[in-house]
């Protein structure tokens, strides 16, 4: 049991590094745009999420759009639709949380488990044709 858990954690190290880097890109962009550029939270969140997501999706989902297997326009289209819809959705939630008094970084952290899990479910469907609930 312990070895199985260690094996799963070790297997996730690559994705964790990629996702962590994407999260740093997202949040550093978001906070810079809010505090240095005085950009409204909604727009800063959209830009940060898109930049961080682009990095993560490019490196973590290569097998979805693998050139060797042939480019799949259907999967790419679904991927783009999902990314654009969820980016606006999460940015609106973040903006609402900031409006009710949360600090901008606290609002980003508050949505993190939900946004990660929705991405996990969608990418499971896109890669494997099914939702992976666990």
The three-state (H, E, C) secondary structure of 33-57, written as one string: HHHCCCCCHHHHHHHHHHHHHHHHH
Q: What is the three-class DSSP state of 37?
A: coil
Cβ proximity of 56 and 14 under 8 Å: no
CA distance 125 to 119: 10
- pLDDT tens across 99-119, in order? 999 999 999 999 988 888 887
| pLDDT over threshold 80, residue 71 | no
Could you tell me the residue ranges of all domains in the chain?
2-128
CA distance 22 to 19: 5
Average pLDDT of the residues of the chain: 82
Q: Which of 36, 16, 25, 35 is nearest to 120 (CA)?
A: 16
Alpha-carbon dihedral sign for residues 70, 74, 80, 83: negative
For position 24, what pLDDT does the model report?
Answer: 95
Q: Which of 52, 65, 69, 70 is nearest to 119 (CA)?
A: 52
pTM: 0.77
């Amino acid at each position: 049991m312990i070895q199985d858990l260690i094996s799963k954690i070790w297997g996730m190290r690559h994705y964790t590094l990629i996702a962590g880097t994407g999260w740093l890109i997202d949040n550093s962009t978001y906070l810079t745009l809010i505090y240095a550029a005085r950009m409204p939270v909604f727009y800063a969140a959209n830009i940060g999420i898109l930049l961080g997501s682009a990095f993560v999706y490019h490196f973590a989902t290569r097998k979805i759009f693998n050139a060797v297997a042939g480019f799949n326009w259907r999967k790419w289209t679904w991927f783009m639709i999902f990314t654009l819809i969820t980016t606006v959705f999460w940015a609106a939630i973040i903006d609402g949380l900031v409006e009710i008094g949360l600090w901008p970084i606290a609002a980003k952290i508050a949505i993190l488990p939900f946004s990660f899990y929705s991405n996990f479910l969608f990418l499971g469907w896109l890669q494997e044709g099914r939702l992976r609930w666990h």
